[in-house]
A and B are shown apart, each in its own frame.
Chain A
Amino acid sequence: MKAAVVVFPGSNCDRDLAVAFKAAGADVTMVWHKDTDLPEGTDIVGVPGGFSFGDYLRCGAIAANSPICGAVKTHADRGGYVMGICNGFQVLTETGILPGALLRNAGLKYICKTVGLKVETSQSAYTEGYNAGDVIDVPIAHHDGNYFAEDNTLDRLEGEDRVVLRYTDNPNGSLRDIAGIVSDNRRVLGMMPHPERAADIGHGGTDGQALFRALAGQLTTA
């Protein structure tokens, strides 16, 4: 599996994501936001958490218009895998690769804690290492993680089994407790919680590990 991790000014989970990919067996290349192309043969693009461009204007808005995001969009349009975590999820919604938007947390506070997530479906390369109904513990760390989309979009996401993760105890006001969704071809994942921060025994939890291992299994045999 060849992974590319995008780095924006203000990204701060890029190395953590690279470590999690490597631990699952991936070759990882870091890609700068000014680059216009992904490395040849990239299987999956990781868009990491952090505060790209200082969250100016809207979280992820400036990053979504950076040169590398054109290449990420082309990769996704071609059926490539893309995984956006936290700020990366915000970037993917701002590019329009994933539907909806992330609003300010309903309680207005930045929240940094481990939360329970219910795996809603194992029908994706990201969640096939879990059973539907599993509850996993994964940290969140965000100020703007309140998922919003129009009712018809939410209905479509649910109808197409694209809500892959839900909060067991909604921390941020996300509509229908949504913590993570996939694209219509199920290859682009956006999630606010940080599986790369629960992927090593030293993190205090390893519930996120299965996500990276499943992905590596899927993309190595592909």
Chain B
Amino acid sequence: MKATVHVMLKTGVLDPQGEAVRHALGALGFEGVNGVRQGKVIELDLADGTSEDDVKAMCDKLLANTVIESYRVDLS
């Protein structure tokens, strides 16, 4: 089974990389890009039977820093 973890900086935490991407898109002539937030996607190849709670524990312990980041887990 697979799990996909999306990690994003929390709302209110400055994302200078996203801001730089927004500026770059503007410089390329793409209009109307009001905001860019950059995060990361982590794909996990897991043993069958791994629960969503197990993956959440992985996120809390290592994959995300919940002081500054939020995460979402998709199991498939």
Contacts and interface: CB of A to CB of B under 8 A. Distances in A.
B14 A57 contact: no
Contacts of B13: 103, 148
A107 B16 contact: yes
Nearest to B64: A58
The binding surface of chain A is classed by DSSP as: loop
A57 to B, nearest CB: 7
Contact of B20 (A62, A100, A101, A108): A108
A106 B62 contact: no
Contact-size category for A: 20 to 34
A104 interface: yes
Contacts, number: 38
Interface residues of B, number: 12
Interface in B37-62: 61-62
B62 A173 contact: no
B16 A94 contact: no
Interface string A72-109: 00000000000000000000011000011101111110
A104 B65 CA distance: 14
B67 interface: yes
A58 B63 CA distance: 9
Nearest to A172: B16
B18 to A, nearest CB: 10
A149 interface: yes
Nearest to A59: B65
A70 to B, nearest CB: 13
Contacts of A103: 9, 13-14, 16, 68
B65 A108 contact: no
A106 B14 contact: yes
A36 to B, nearest CB: 18
5 contacts: A101-B67, A103-B68, A108-B17, A148-B13, A148-B14
10 smallest CB-CB distances across A and B, nearest first, come from A101-B68, A101-B67, A108-B16, A106-B16, A104-B16, A108-B20, A101-B65, A58-B65, A148-B68, A65-B62
